[in-house]
Chains A and B, each alone.
Chain A
Amino acid sequence: MTSLSPTADRNPFAAALERLPFLPALLILVVLVVLNGWFEPNSLSYRAITGLVSTYLALMMLAIAQTYVVMAGDIDLSVGATLSLVNVVVIVLMERWGGGGGMVLLACFVGILTGLACGLINGLVVAALRLQAIVATFATSIFFTGVALYVLPVAGTPAPAAFWRTYGGRILEIPFVFWVVAALALLLVLLVRTRLTLQLLAVGDDAQGAFQSGLPVAAIRIKGYVLCGLFAALAALCITGDTASGDPLVGGKMTLYSVAAVVLGGSALSGGKGTVVGSLVGALIIGLINSLVFFVGTPSEWQNLVQGLAILIALMAGVFVGRRVGQ
């Protein structure tokens, strides 16, 4: 909307911020990296960073998932439940089919299909049936959790060694998770080049206007949810690699973190403004806040409170600065 106003008379930082809304988040990220290095020099070692990435890769994926619906002005409170469902489906299938390499891949493929199906259901419910996204995806999250509990009633079934050894291992001396990050970056670059990202942003900015200029608004929103399901499934594969076991409730707590990561990344929940890079940065901010709170020696019972306060302040600062400079 503001892009229509002349940019010549505004300061260059504001113009940069408009094109790259995740700049404040990047700044916070750099500060956090420096602070982490200050309090615990080892936290910047290759090994520690590998550990950080493999722990928070799932949240990064889930934040990306959330971004695609937020772009269109929607929200998905079922990403955590979708993640849990895919996690147990993959675990159970790998156990049933034996832990062989081909079977593991096939199980992962079925897991991704499950995620896509969850996304499609959400999309149909929100965009085709026109229910309110917050409450409708909460309802589907209850449903998905039910299905997950049906697939695996109690947490515990272990993943086959082939799976978690790969996730925690190395290929050509480079940790597997970095290969995943590289593949993810490539996938995101490809997605940015598609028309879909622009269409999602157009719908989020002004759904009525997008409709009147001939965009199939409902279909675009459904595609956003399907993409969200895809990345939630990928997040589930990461969680499965990290925890090496199945848990029908593993993703429950992650939903709200994914929303926080998206907002930290400079996306507007009202839609029309958002970048997946920002959400990646947002997820890393949450990870680094958690590790920083640990490194400065906060007593264990105080850690959650300090984390909560730090995330609240980062959220407020991000929204506040983003708007002040953007004006």
Chain B
Amino acid sequence: MTKSGLAIVGIAEVPTRRDPERQRWDILLDVCMGAIRDAGIDKNLIGAVISNNPMAQPSMQNDMSLGKIPEVMGLKGCRDIAICNAGGASTTNCLRLAEQHIASGQVDYVLIPHTTVQSDMPPQDLINFFATAPLDKQFEYPYGVSFNGSMGLITQRYMYETGATEEELASVTVALRAWGALDPLSIFYGKTVTLDDVMNSRLISTPLKAKECNLLADGGGAMVVTSWEKARELGDKAVYKLGHGTRFMSATPMLREDVFHRQAYRESSRDALSQAGLSIHDMDLRQIYGAYPYTQCSALEGYGVCEDGQGAKLWAEGRCGPGGDLPCTTMGDATGRGHTGSGVSMAFYLDSVRQLRGEAGDRQVDQCEHAILTTSGGSVMNTCTTVFGRKPR
């Protein structure tokens, strides 16, 4: 039996910015049309629209859940509409559902969109959202914990257990911002930071400093996915999903035994790599969506790129940033690109496609044939790891 699977054949993204003048529906239409044009297919071949649920955007959630996209865009071949919500991992769920639709033979092409505008929302509302949605409202929230506070707690323990220094962790942000500075789609395009800039930025929730925390921003992206067979007909632009693995840990951070998610990174990547028939050493690019610097370290440990506790050293030695021999997270993560709510994971997939196509501009990883990508949702409740390649297997 010939193996088949999912392929991404069209992508589009708007630059991440804070611009309340840029409307949610304008972003949405631009990226949906862009992705379909990029795929080079007729709009009426889209058989389903599976949307990434935009967190804290209630009117868009309604529009996207209840079928406005195919109606507004005149997608006359659309047979199904769905929305997936797993916080930051929503895009991953969209891809998994799309793969099932395509494998069932019901549809050939699925459109997966995302849009979010946060710049027109009061900052206090956003702090409240991120403090209450993924944290426990009985035993965490009454103690004044913010999302940054929760991640500060984990980071402090990570330093204690691994011996990683604040400077080593700050070097993660320096590298992520260096990728972002090379990326026209990043809110930090052209804006690098030095180690001193990070270390001297305001203390938010120790050991986290302002530049290590996420800047909430607006953005959007979309992709068109299909089967390997259809993708081959479309030529070189396709990027193929070769393997996938996932692990769930806990909704509430304080209950997480695998506190740095190292074991979850280990097991989900092992499953994904084994399906792909590849090893971590075959990967040319590692894309880690964790939104806070320690995840960029513990993921490398879980993947088996280095020993447990050594992840921060790789970043401090400059090996994961531009010019390094282990390029990681060229997308910049939320720290280096801006946090677009549930859209961060969308941008991770899109950037991986660009890298595998050789379209990543100044950030292009040499001979990028294979990429491993992990997304997470909620308060890092899970790790969803996928291996992509330039060729099907």
Tell me whether A and B are bound partners.
no
